[in-house]
Structure 1
């Protein structure tokens, strides 16, 4: 049998974005409040106060009363108005694929509205048509930290079963309206991040529950049921379309060769796999049920939930990959969300380990476990970029990072992994998810705004822009 030694001819070279981090225009076109609109900037806070993902009711009330200055996602990079020019710039990199999300609150401003917002649908009609006209295949994320805020305040976000019906209705509208043009869908962005992104993801306010861990996993259960129901609807009505789930690849290495550390690292990784095991295989694995039992977490299965999960399994698996860390026996499980930095690896300016081989390992593990087509739907390095006096931007650190990861991606394909596409994160600079700053830049294209929103908004190509074009045009053969 001939071995596959290179990427398939129809490999997708893309770029990935989120509506809430780029569109701005947060009160235009009939859009309602969404969770991202209350994400306050973190960069001016003391280090010990940054990246607290638990949000309570007082926080939301304060955010809704404050002006826009410290809420950068409300302004983004004004993509809502500049998307035609921006998409042409992105297409100039040779990208043949484009991933973004649809902001749920643009389609259903309150989440439980009786009818979708026509202006929101019209905007995404124009956006998707432009993506296709520019030669890029759209991949749409249905939920990417853009739950209508009303669903959080009224129903406790994903904890409330009312949100299941709201989400399924939202998905049906998207499939019915855009399904003739969009054939690849990710139901929820990084769905396993129930600890890291508990409010952004689940919309669960921390002050409303005595057992917050149980509330999060109940919310995740309800979300997986909703995803399965939406997936079945698509399969029944649009069989040509592919529905996928997405991991944040948060797999860890054991912190030592001790059997105890090997065991606890296995348990950590199992609970990262957990959501995929449910969404791909259609039922809860035994290790997860034991993990819940040991922690006093009771998941309420409503009538029909098991059947819904079994009938609505996904067609592909996608993942974000940025870094790896270490895990092991207690007390490591209580350190930095169960992970510690790896002293053997260099780090980015934000302390994220740079581990290209870890990507090859992750791809092999996900392929071995699920035997479904894979997509890398986020990868990249956040860095400070400097505009030189002549207007040029030299970013060899970004090229080095991406080149090393693409090489390992190709090695994984040689290992037999069925990898269909690579979508680096934010090829046009956008507002950061975790810290809401724009000066943590990922892009091939610089956007002239600073963290306060000051600047011209001008788009400037970085050196990495032309480099990525060489990669895409050569289908990964030209990496230098």
Structure 2
């Protein structure tokens, strides 16, 4: 008797995902404070494959707050704050069953350390969530998606400061209290393992405020995971219907060669990618992490009650998937733990294209955690060319088709995959490069890297393709 599934579950959640800081704009409206994303600078003078967020120091932060000659595109986004009703209607027209976005921390607590939330910010998300539901989509909400209040990086030391555990837990509890009847699915921290090139954007630790930046990063993410434990416990005790998720960026690397030294170096690298999920889904630090910290001279301070807080584990796993990397013994030993696979094609930004890698990750993650999985970001950035008022993005369709085919194979492998969120279903500002020209969407937004354009929304060929995928539940 065959017990192999024939395809996607009938209740599979086909969706799309954005982040508040990349879409909303209106950075100083209705009491919103400045966030770390509001000082993500666009620079046209950097080579395309080197465009990425970087570590920042207090001088840059201070200059950015008062700057008039730098370009910060996330301050204007795509004006989603004012156009969300029209944009959600377009997304619903594609047949999306679910929509993921984040709640900007600085709209609710402008500085991050206030005792009372900003009602204007809560009211905006009341209306936004209502509109998502009105359009027939199930909301999935990310609590923290690179939107830390900038005040917490200047008055404190970002997540390195233990005070943030209390501040962030308060933020989470306010959201659960306010929206528990409307939002079932929550991700507390976006891509919690991304502490390399996104570390300031994620953890808000200015590099000149700490002596050992790598140690500070791991201490910061420890504090963050403890806060996740407190928030998860509050949600489970007060609103048992809520599903609390954790999220990784990507996953394990491949060994660069079959040499045993490269294979074992890759095992060690991959363990420290799993580490964050192991803690948040299993409830404690694994032995390999203590060994890694000991070998690296990193000391993690556990506060009173931290270990008990970590026992409050997430209900589901999610991850973003864009590319895979490879690892070898020499690069691991030198701290440059993974690099691009020369066997694979890549997009213009150097992000390799590996559909089979998605099936690999799904199998590895499900083997390890045996819990529901959602792919909460997947997509590819390309330059789109408007021709006769249309976008013929066959390259995007080819990319997404090949990945969805591998998702179907993973389901046949027995993976409990429950949802798929295409990243940036409408064009938004790039997270890593803060440019508009790196586009992911099914919907084109007529706006350039400097915020100029009509902001007209135009449906791409991929819009109609994804609509058919959803209509047929992945059969076409």
Q: Which residue of 1 aligns with 2:204?
A: 203
CA–CA distance in structure 1, aligned partners of residues 11 and 351 of structure 2: 32
Distance 1:26 1:468, change over 3 A: same
Give the secondary structure class of the aligned counterpart of 1:423: strand
What are the ranges of 5 or more consecutive residues in structure 1 without an aligned counterpart? none
CA–CA distance in structure 1, aligned partners of residues 333 and 444 of structure 2: 39
- 1:458 lines up with 2:456 in the alignment: yes
Q: Which residue of 1 aligns with 2:467?
A: 469
Q: In the TM superposition, what whole-angstrom CA distance separates every residue of 1:37-61 from its partner, at most 9, and x where no partner exists?
A: 0111133335697425211111101
Q: Which residue of 1 aligns with 2:407?
A: 409
Q: How far apart are 1:154 and its partner, in Å?
A: 1.4
* TM-score, length basis structure 1: 0.97
Q: Which residue of 2 aligns with 1:380?
A: 379
- 1:365 lines up with 2:360 in the alignment: no
Is the contact made by 2:78 and 2:428 (CA closer than 8 Å) also made in structure 1?
A: yes
Q: Which residue of 2 aligns with 1:88?
A: 89
Distance 1:52 1:103, change over 3 A: closer
CA–CA distance in structure 1, aligned partners of residues 425 and 193 of structure 2: 24
Give the secondary structure class of the aligned counterpart of 2:365: helix
Q: Which residue of 2 aligns with 1:73?
A: 74
Q: How far apart are 1:3 and its partner, in Å?
A: 2.5
Is the contact made by 2:269 and 2:332 (CA closer than 8 Å) also made in structure 1?
A: no
Q: In the TM superposition, what whole-angstrom CA distance separates every residue of 1:192-212 from its partner, at most 9, and x where no partner exists?
A: 011221101001000111111
Q: In the TM superposition, what whole-angstrom CA distance separates every residue of 1:131-153 from its partner, at most 9, and x where no partner exists?
A: 00000000000000001111111
* TM-score, length basis structure 2: 0.98
Q: Which residue of 1 aligns with 2:353?
A: 354
CA–CA distance in structure 2, aligned partners of residues 344 and 352 of structure 1: 12
Is the contact made by 1:68 and 1:74 (CA closer than 8 Å) also made in structure 2?
A: no
Give the secondary structure class of the aligned counterpart of 1:330: helix
CA–CA distance in structure 2, aligned partners of residues 319 and 48 of structure 1: 23
Q: Which residue of 2 aligns with 1:261?
A: 262
Is the contact made by 1:69 and 1:452 (CA closer than 8 Å) also made in structure 2?
A: no
CA–CA distance in structure 1, aligned partners of residues 118 and 452 of structure 2: 31
Is the contact made by 1:143 and 1:189 (CA closer than 8 Å) also made in structure 2?
A: yes
Distance 1:354 1:78, change over 3 A: same
Is the contact made by 1:250 and 1:272 (CA closer than 8 Å) also made in structure 2?
A: yes
Distance 1:412 1:333, change over 3 A: farther
Q: How far apart are 1:334 and its partner, in Å?
A: 3.7
- 1:400 lines up with 2:398 in the alignment: yes
CA–CA distance in structure 2, aligned partners of residues 302 and 256 of structure 1: 41
Q: How far apart are 1:449 and its partner, in Å?
A: 0.3
CA–CA distance in structure 2, aligned partners of residues 118 and 43 of structure 1: 38
Q: Which residue of 2 aligns with 1:218?
A: 219
Q: How far apart are 1:283 and its partner, in Å?
A: 0.4
- Aligned-pair RMSD on alpha carbons? 1.2
Q: How many residues get paired?
A: 475
CA–CA distance in structure 1, aligned partners of residues 444 and 464 of structure 2: 13
Q: Which residue of 2 aligns with 1:152?
A: 153
CA–CA distance in structure 1, aligned partners of residues 160 and 298 of structure 2: 14
Map residues 39-438 of structure 1 onto 2, 5 A cutoff.
39-45=40-46, 50-51=51-52, 53-67=54-68, 70-310=71-311, 312-334=312-334, 337-388=336-387, 390-438=388-436
Q: How far apart are 1:124 and its partner, in Å?
A: 0.3
